[in-house]
Structure formats: structure tokens, C-alpha cells
Chains A and B, each alone.
Chain A
């Protein structure tokens, strides 16, 4: 069973707001002061992929990333998680792609790899947060898609997936091949890779696919939307900090304010 997990290299979402700047020329965040990391939901997807592989005889995991050379970092991380293979897809002029072309290109890369029984991806990447790549890939591959999955299990030819639903969650059964988009949960907390595996990962091969290696539809490779302007959102409110530092006294003061607001 071939499992493909799609990973994205993103600006660390936990960056202190103070250091978060947008370059007005490029409309993109200034990366100089900040770290780049593996997207957190993609890391949950990677963890689930590895868990499933380890439970399934003969299964293998390929980590797939659309990104420039720097993003090999996330593929090395996947290899340190013991992924079986790593593939990077890139072309110089792919800087400005949104979820639609990314979904198309990744789907073509998966076809070039001979297909997959299961494709996992983060529910949304923590930079642009579109939540499009999974569903678009499913459409491109002509397979079903379950979004916001927290856990999964293989039952014969079917995948049993727990996914978040309105006011609770559902367990669904979906035929493979399928695309699942993953959210964080207790069952998919990313492991800490072993030092030995981190070292081994450094020397493993990363395959590169370029435009000519894939059967791409040039129209579907065009972005569907363009970011024309970006700016920091300033929703600051003037906060009235109640004076004092005695918790009990402050509580009394706060209670009076709340009652005065007439909300209670």
C-alpha cells in the first residue's frame, strides 16, 4: 500500500506578532527574522501516515513537497520520521501559486509516482490557510475526499476516518484510493525523531520532479487568484487594565464592571 503525504514549508505561525512584518513590495512576510517550519497540520498528517505504515505489512510512505530547495528541510524531517521516500516538485516560476494549481501539480506528481492508495495532507497550511489543496487534489485524481480528519484506520479496502463534524464528530468509511485532510488530535501528536534517524535522513536521496517530468495541463497550472495587497491587521482595542494586583480585590472590581455592563 502506497501512502503519499503532502508537506508544506511555512513561516513559523507562532512568530511573535512584533516580529511579523509584511514587505510592501512583495506583499509577503519578511522572512529574515523568522524561522521556517513544517506546517503543523501537515506534520500531524505525516505522523498518521507513519503510524499507518507501521501497522500495515508492505506499506510505504512517500513524502511530497512542492517548494524550492530550502523546503527540502521538511522532506529531511519526513525522512527522519522514517518516511520511505521523499520527492520535491519545483519550477522557478511557481512562486505565486494558489491552492488550485498546487492541487493539480501535486496530483500529477502522485500519478507520476504510480498513484497512491491514500493521500494525506494537512487540512490547511498555516500561512495562507486556504484549505483547498486536499479537495482539489481529490477532484484532480478523481477520488473521494474527507476533510478535517483526526484519526484513521484501514479496514479491508476501506478507510475508516474520524472527522470533525458540526457539534461533535463522525466516523465515515471511504473506499481507497482517497484523499484525507488532517487536523491535530491526541492520536497524531508528532513523534520526536531518533537521533540516529535524523542522521540517516541527511544522506537519503530526495527525488526532484520538474515541469517536464509531469504531465501538466498548462492552464490548470495558472493561479486562480492573485494576492494584490497584504497588510498587518490591527485590531487593537484600548484595554482598561484594572489597577491593583490583589486577585481577590480585582475580582470584586471586575464583578462590579460586569454587572454595570448589563450583559449578565
Chain B
């Protein structure tokens, strides 16, 4: 059957979490549909990441070693990935639909005259037909899609794959490829990059998240959540309503259009649980909801529910846990 080209971006000398998920997903796909998984790495010093891609299931890792490609540039990456796709015998390209994937998938598909499917979480192969599965309507529903063109570019939703389960796969080959990248291709110039130095732990990596919503009533409520989160060694998140109200910065937003998280514990305080918010916590292990309204949809997703005013619960909870934990 056909081969899969998977774009595995690297961060330092290892794959990004999205890149790793994309290889694991591709190798699951290849075991159903046949064909080989071929990873592509752009930049320099990709030896280590190429080995990691092979360990995650790639049969071949192509490396395009070029200093210009070390920093992500959308135009350059689109040009280079199209060039590699056309050189290699593949008809499916898998890209993590992370910040970069959001730039790349539509561009690649239009350029390659391929079909495009984004936010894919799974696939199935009934009756010889490959069907892609993705959430639609703010995660209120799932849609199953079949493509109509001979090639397809797939954007894989972040945190949709279980990467811990992959069986180490050996025997793969690293093949260097050439691409004559030039500075003229880089039309978008970076003026400034601002790193949000808000919390010590990135939401995506946090094991414990205490998240607040409109029910907190104002920014003050968030400092209480911060105290609780620090005590638990976790970090603070928020609903879109809280971010839009300006109580916390936008990069704390959890959800479909915010961070997709997978903590062991997610405490939702004064959050109603709109489908777009729940989309960000699909893979949270234990969800605790603190909300005054027992009818709030958050209780349909929570494992433990507390129906009470968060202004009375949070200080008492922090107090109690401080005694137990410290």
C-alpha cells in the first residue's frame, strides 16, 4: 500500500511532543493500511531526533540538514516539505496540528492539490475505505470523513494519541536529502518574540491544573487559585470567558482554541463546561468541578463534583491541603 510521510519537528535535539505523536499515529495507520512510515526532519543536528522517530515507528527518517531550516519559517517549510513529499513515494502526509501545523496543513494541501483534514483524532478502515475521525461543532459531535483526492495532508490534533504505549521499533534507516533553501524564500520577518513568563510550568506539561472561569467573579479569585496551584505543584488555567474579561492573559486559556492539556488532575472552578472548554481536557485523568449550579454541563465530565460557592470552597480547601501536605 501507500507510504506515509510524517513531519516530525524537533526542539533542541529531540522531537516535539506533537512530532512524536504524529509518528506514533502514522505507525498505527501504517499497520492498518500497509506501507511504510517515513519521517522528515528539517534543520541541523537531527541525528538524535531521527533515531527517536525510528524508535517511535518510522522505517525511514529523512533529514534535510540546512542551517536556514533550523528556525521555523512558514514559507521555507512549505516549500521544503512539498519538495520532500514529491521526491518520496508517499501519498499521505501527517503533520501535528500544533501552532506550526496550523500554518502548514492548508498551504501544503493547496500546493500539492491534495485533500486536507485537520484536527484528526483517529481513523478507521471499514470496507477497505479509510475514514478519518475528528470532532466538529465545538466538540459537540464527531464527524467521519473520506477524502476524494489521491493525496491527503492530515493535521493531527495535539494530545489525541497515547504515546506512552508505543512499542519500541528498531531497524530504520536515516537518509539525508538535499534542499537548496534560500533567504529569499523567507518573506515573513520576525520582529519580536515574547515568551510568556507567567507560570513555572507550561499548561501542556502540567500534572495538576487549577482552572478558573467566569464564576470566580473577577481577577482576585485567580490569586487564590494561584495559591492553591502552587501548593499542589501545579499551574493555573482559565476558561475563555475569564481570558476575554481580561482577568488573566489569553495564554492561560484551556480549550479547543486554547491549550489542550492532559493533566492527572484538573480542578475546574466556576467553569460551566462548554463543549469548547471540554475539548481541551478530553485527556485529563481526574476532573473535579466546583460550581454553584448542579445543572452545569461540567458535572457531566467531572469525576468529583462540589456544588457550592467557590469563594467558600477554595480558601478552606487550600487551608486543609496545606495542613495535610506540608
Binding site for B on A (CB under 8 A): 11, 13-14, 17, 20, 22, 27, 29, 98-100, 103-104, 123-124, 126-136, 138-140, 144-148, 150, 160, 164-175, 183-186, 189, 220, 222-233, 235-242, 245-248, 250-252, 254-255, 257-259, 261, 263-264
Task: Given A100-B116, A103-B110, A132-B109, decide whether A225 and B305 contact each other with a Cβ distance below 8 A.
Answer: no
A226 x B146 contact (CB < 8 A): yes
- Residue B131 lies at the interface, judged by CB distance under 8 Å to chain A: yes
CB distance from B321 to the nearest CB of A (A): 5
- CA–CA, A100 and B303, complex, Å: 40
User: What is the interface of chain B mostly: helix, strand, loop, or mixed?
Assistant: mixed
Known contacts: A184-B244, A226-B146. The answer to whether A254 contacts B306 by CB under 8 A is yes
Contact status B194-A129, CB under 8 Å: no
Which residues does chain A contribute within 8 Å of B278, judged by CB atoms? 235
Q: How far is the CA of A91 from the CA of B200 in the complex (A)?
A: 53
B222 in the interface, Cβ–Cβ < 8 Å? no
From DSSP, what is the main secondary structure of chain A's interface residues? mixed
Cα of A173 to Cα of B196 in the assembled complex, Å? 20
Interchain CA distance A175-B79 in the complex, whole Å:
18
- Structural contact, A252 and B316, CB atoms closer than 8 A: yes
Q: In the complex, are the beta carbons of B136 and A129 less than 8 A apart?
A: yes
By beta carbon, the residue of chain A nearest B189 is A173
Flag if B138 contacts A126 (CB, 8 Å).
Answer: yes
| Chain B positions 270-326 with a Cβ under 8 Å from a chain A Cβ | 274-276, 278, 282, 285-290, 294, 297, 299-317, 319-321, 324-325
Contact between A139 and B110 (Cβ–Cβ < 8 Å)?
yes
Chain B 52-83 residues near chain A, CB threshold 8 A: 74-75
Known: A136-B109, A248-B316, A264-B321. A170 touches B145 (CB 8 A): no
B265 closest partner in A (C-beta): A263
CB interface residues, B 95-112, toward A, < 8 Å: 97-99, 102-107, 109-111
Question: 7 smallest A-B Cβ distances: which pairs?
Answer: A247-B312, A135-B106, A251-B316, A224-B115, A139-B110, A251-B317, A255-B320
In contact, A129 and B193 (Cβ under 8 angstroms): no
Contact A239 B299 (CB under 8 A): yes
Alpha-carbon distance between A264 and B228 when the two chains are bound, in angstroms = 12
For residue B12, give the distance in angstroms from its CB to the closest CB of chain A.
Answer: 13
